[in-house]
Amino acid sequence: MKTLSPLWPAISRIARDEGVLRIGASDIEDAHVALFHDWLDRGHHATMRYLEKNRAVRTHPRERFPWAKSAVVILVPYASERPAATNGALSHHIARYALGDDYHDVLDRILRRIEDAMPPEAKTRRYVDTGPLSDRSLAAQAGLGWIGKNGMLIDEEHGSYFFIGALLTSLENDIMATEVADRCGACTRCIDACPTDAILPNRTVASEHCISYGTIEHRGPLEGRISDALGGNAFGCDICQEVCPWNAAPAGAHPAFTARDEYRATPVTDLLRYSQGDFSTLFRHSAVKRARLAGMQRNVEALTAARSGRRD
């Protein structure tokens, strides 16, 4: 039976060369699947109905991937600090993870290199937030951190400013991970700081109240708690990470996630006059495309209305 450990020195070397912060291995069964079902049953996925459709695969991943026996999981850091810029610049209104290149493309390329190190007969499948798997659960099971009260994976040394990627393999997992102890303790800074009370007591997030969900995934007008508490957020939100004490000494960003100069030079309000072509050019190879031009213009309109004291 083929196992991961003979490949681990080569895989680890590739990871180091590619700027990976941490790497580990996990079985593919999700230890947190019951929590996911409860979250769905309570409707906290809001309009993300594709999560409901993928419920069965999360419960029994081997029904879709009968060959899968393990997952190689990587953490890749992104910028924890915003670049110096004028107050109204786009870079002040976009979540840190989207200030550089699209993480899907960058992590997929890294996973492809790891995939190429596998034996020719091994089956693999790359996942970067693109399928019915919980990357955070796999990462926690691989000993790469614990899932904090804000639902983020937290590494004791580097905090939570990183992306997670997973490579499913047909190799047996014999890399024994040490479970990372929960270090949140009695701290409730993230819960207290969330302006929409979106963080739930069971370490999940109510998407219907989450600014990140509202400004990225939601289609249609912004309403309720989200529209009233946008603050300066036009795409995503970092508040629960900004207040987390474990983010006091984050790792330096992977070069691909360095903030783009054009975001520092472009006023966020410029988006209101953009054509689709302008939008596609500015956000080429960027995760911001997820919100689409109409969504970003909606978000910016909500920001400017709030600043002027207007409510539509």
Helix, strand, coil distribution of the chain in percent, nearest 5:
40, 10, 45
Beta bridge partners of 76: 163
- 17, 102, 116, 129: the active-site residue: 129
- Token pair, residue 279, equals 């939008």
Pick from 272, 292, 273: which is nearest to 283 by CA? 292
Is there a catalytic annotation at residue 197?
Answer: no
Distance CA 282, CA 284 (A): 6
Angle of helix 8-17 relative to helix 103-116, nearest 10 degrees, comes to 150
Reduced 3-state DSSP string for 97-131 = HHCCCCHHHHHHHHHHHHHHCCCCCCCEEEECCCC
* CA-closest candidate to residue 111, choices 25, 11, 32: 11
Write a three-state SS string for 84-95: CCCCCEHHHCEC
Record the tokens describing residue 194, joined without a space.
């969330």
Q: Which residues contact 23 (CB under 8 A, 6 or more apart)?
A: 11, 12, 15, 72, 73, 74, 75, 144
Q: Closest Cα partner for 20 from 140, 150, 144?
A: 144
Helix/strand/coil for 223: coil
Residues with catalytic function: 129
